[in-house]
A = this chain, B = another copy of it.
Amino acid sequence: MNLYEELTEYGHKDIYPYHMPGHKRKEQSFLPKKTALIDLTEVQGTDNLHAPTGILKDAQEYCAEVTGADHSYFLINGSTAGVISAIFAAVSEGGKLIIVRNAHKSAYHGMALRNAIPAYIYPETEKKWGFCKAVTPDEIGKAMEENPDAEAVFIVSPTYEGCLCKVEEIAKIAHLRGIPLIVDEAHGAHLPYLGGKYSACRAGADIVIQSTHKTLPAPTQTALLHVNGSLIKKDRIERYLRVFQSSSPSYPLMAGIDGAVRLMAARGGELLETLENNYAGLVSKINNELKYISAYPFCKGINDAGKLLLSASDGNNIFMTGTELSEILRNEYGAETEMSSERSVLAMFTVSDDWEAYKRLFDALTKIDETLRKKAENGCTGTVITEYDDIPRPKIALPPGSAWKTESEEIPVEESVGRISEEIVGLYPPGTPLLAMGEIIEREHVELIKRYIGEKLEVSGIKDGMISVLKGEGLSKPI
């Protein structure tokens, strides 16, 4: 029996709940019957996520078995809780962490809470599409040489756009110096079911965090954390998972994690093969049959089948922004996408998409391509694509934790050159910060922020043209 079935069986027992939750397992107009029935709490027979000995222990052990982990933990506060807990378990108070700049904001939050000192690696920018590429083993090696006092390495693989890191090589580099590798595999919860060493667990990572809701058919806010090897103390991870997660974890969420894992264990290979075929077929059709719409090429092992990056471009010129393309897809073709940026739109496919979904998107793109063709025939040449620069690397005045302990004020972005940012500023998603907490704002950051605002992109950390900066004289010197 899977967890959902076990909970449903419990729910149907003639045991009356003189305990929480307050709905007493009764359907509400805003809480469907089947969900209410399994929305239980820690009573005899339902186990306890924070000290499992029964059905939750079994479910987590099964998950570890099929993902190749030593220990797996169900997360009901998203990868957010996993990332922060991982940083707390791997880095001591005030310790140094080698971390990719394209880390999720939860990693920045974790560093701030832990008062950690970040040593950032800025992976290269893809020159034409403008996204952050996967960090390389060479970049990791260099950072480790420059930071012999680092206590752990933190990478993101796959990236938001689906680029895969060479995790096995990177793990070896970290382990040569005896420090753990944390892999934020939020976008790769499906990787263990591809076989081989695609997944970070099987490639030797010490802590792996996966968002089950992103690429598996599990409910939003669910995730997994896996621990491998002996560099990470199991009881430390368990302590921080207790700290950063509700003491009343949701059983429907846990049942969703277990269900998705079991589905993939049973049929993942076949489902992922279909996904890859459909996805590769779509990419190929777009690039072969459409002229004014391009898809970022798929190359197995280098990037992930599922993340489809689109651009209204013929390869040389661009005919509309990503935001404009996504608006047309939404408003005219009922296709909501994951993210849009200056040049591109990201669409996501998972094992839950059938061929109709691919076809629907291709048909929409075909029609948009046709419109663009007509425009081109009428003399619209678009804009020549220039290469993206690497994103500007701000100087650090204070580590994130110290920045959050300093008084701040809000000022107009234009007046902020030379001041220190209090919060993360950047496009979210994907979220590579232009500025993180405690970093010195330079002219080029202000120019970029203004450009993004002009292009109607959502810049996190900016509200009505205002930015939070630290108060105090003499702070704005790099450390």
Contact = CB atoms under 8 A, between A and B. Distances in A.
A361 B18 contact: yes
Nearest to A19: B338
A256 interface: yes
A17 interface: yes
A252 interface: yes
Interface range, A side:
35 or more
A327 to B, nearest CB: 9
Contacts of A76: 77, 221
Interface in A157-215: 189, 211-215
A263 to B, nearest CB: 7
Interface in A352-406: 352-353, 357, 360-361, 404-405
A174 to B, nearest CB: 23
Interface stretch (A34-42, A66-74, A471-479): A34-42
Interface in A106-126: 106, 109, 112-113
A302 B255 CA distance: 39
Interface stretch (A20-28, A148-156, A291-299, A447-455): A20-28
Interface string A84-119: 100000001100000000001110010011000000
A349 interface: yes
A298 to B, nearest CB: 16
B22 A216 contact: yes
B248 A78 contact: yes
Contact of A217 (B22, B106, B214, B349): B22
Nearest to A364: B16
Nearest to A250: B221
Contacts of A417: none
A426 to B, nearest CB: 14
22 contacts: A2-B29, A18-B338, A18-B348, A20-B214, A22-B212, A22-B216, A22-B260, A22-B351, A23-B217, A23-B218, A26-B352, A28-B259, A31-B259, A32-B33, A39-B220, A51-B460, A78-B248, A79-B248, A92-B405, A109-B242, A109-B243, A214-B248
Given A31-B259, A105-B247, 20 more contacts: A16-B357, A18-B347, A18-B361, A20-B338, A21-B219, A22-B215, A22-B351, A22-B352, A23-B352, A31-B217, A39-B219, A76-B77, A77-B245, A78-B247, A78-B249, A80-B247, A84-B243, A109-B243, A113-B113, A221-B248
Interface of A: 2-4, 13-24, 26, 28-36, 39-41, 43-44, 51, 76-81, 84, 92-93, 104-106, 109, 112-113, 189, 211-221, 239, 242-253, 255-256, 258-260, 262-263, 308, 330, 334-339, 347-353, 357, 360-361, 404-405, 423, 460
